[in-house]
A = this chain, B = another copy of it.
C-alpha cells in the first residue's frame, strides 16, 4: 500500500502516518520526492483495511492499494483453468457450452417445445426462469415452483441440465433440489446474504455481472462464493449500464478476456441481455466466442412476440438454429494480398 502525502504535509504528519502503519503491524518505507513524500506500507495481515482509513489522516493526499484483492479466484493461486461440471456438461474446457431456453417458463408446452428445439439445434444446457426479478411489481413474476417442476420434466425428457435463477435465500434449498445450476441474477450480484447462503451448497453457480460492477467487483462477488466453500462458479457477462441508449446494455466483451486473464474461473456471455436486440445476437455471440468466452446463454422462445418477458431479445427456433450453425462458419479473412495491392498503388 502506498500512502501519498500532500505537498503541504508536515514532518509531524508524516511521523504520525509511519506510527500508524507500524501499529497495524506493517513496515513503513519513506520515499521523499521533490514535490511530496510517499510512504510504502509493506507486510500483510488482517489490519490492512485499517490502513485504508489513513486517507482521513491529516496530511494524507491519497492511498493506492498495491496488493491483489483476490485470494481464491485469482491467477496467483491457480494458473490453470477451472472446469465446472454441470451434471456431466463441462464449462471451461476446450468446447464452448451453449445454454438456451426461454426467459420465463410460461407453460408446459412452451418449455418442452423449446427444450426439444434447442437441443436439436445443439444446445447443451437449458435455461428458464421460475422466479423473475422484474423492475415493476406489476410485471409477470414467474410461475415459481410450478416452473421448477416443468424444468425437471424437460430435463428428464431431453437430458439437458437446467439452470434457473434463485432470488431469495429462502428458496435456495428448493431451487437446488430441482436445478443443476443456480443462477445469481445481475441485480443480486452484491446480495451478500444470498451469496453466503448459496456458498453453503456445493451446487454449480452462474454468477451474472451486475450492470454497475467493475471487473474487480465482479470477481470479488465470486470470491464470496469461493470463500464460503463453493468453488463451482461460472461468471457471466451480460452488459453494463452506460449512456448508450440504442441497446439495452453495453456488452463489455473485453471484460471477458480480462476476467479470464485475472481469474481461473470460466466465463460465459449473455448476448440477449447484453444487446437487448434480437438482430445483434448472432454477431455478438460470434464475437463472444472469438474473445475467449467458454459459452453462451441465449434466450429462445417459440413465439417471441408473445413472450411474457424479454420477447424483443429472444430468438425463435429457426433463429437459434442459424446461430449455432453460424458459430462454426469462418470469419472474414485478413487481406493477404497486401503486397500486390500495395505495389499497384506506388
Chain A residues in the interface with B (C-beta under 8 A): 2, 4, 7, 20, 29, 31-36, 38, 40, 42-44, 46, 49-50, 52-57, 62, 64, 66-69, 71, 76, 87-89, 94-98, 119, 122-124, 133-140, 155-156, 158-161, 167-171, 187-188, 190-194, 210-212, 214-217, 220, 223-224, 227-228, 240-247, 250-255, 257-258, 261, 274-275, 277-280, 283-284, 286-292, 304-309, 311-312, 314, 324, 327-328, 330-339, 341-346
Contact = CB atoms under 8 A, between A and B. Distances in A.
Given A38-B2, A89-B345, A191-B191, A312 B95 contact: no
Contacts of A71: 138
Contacts of A168: 169, 193
Given A95-B332, A119-B339, A247-B255, 12 more contacts: A36-B66, A133-B190, A136-B223, A170-B193, A215-B246, A240-B242, A247-B254, A247-B258, A283-B290, A286-B291, A289-B290, A290-B331
Contacts of A192: 133-134, 137, 167, 187
A312 B56 contact: yes
A282 B141 CA distance: 40
A303 to B, nearest CB: 8
Contacts of A224: 137
Given A67-B36, A96-B335, A124-B338, A261 B242 contact: no
A342 B335 CA distance: 41
A204 B153 CA distance: 43
B338 A137 contact: no
A60 to B, nearest CB: 8
B35 A67 contact: yes
Contacts of A338: 119, 122-124
B274 A254 contact: yes
Given A136-B69, A308-B50, A242 B250 contact: yes
B95 A335 contact: yes
A32 B42 contact: yes
A53 B305 contact: yes
B305 A56 contact: yes
Contact of A64 (B2, B49, B257): B2
Contact of A88 (B46, B244, B345): B345
Nearest to A171: B193
A265 to B, nearest CB: 15
A191 B190 CA distance: 9
A286 to B, nearest CB: 4
Contacts of A286: 290-291, 331
Nearest to A336: B122
Contacts of A49: 138-140, 308-309
A144 to B, nearest CB: 12
A34 B42 contact: yes
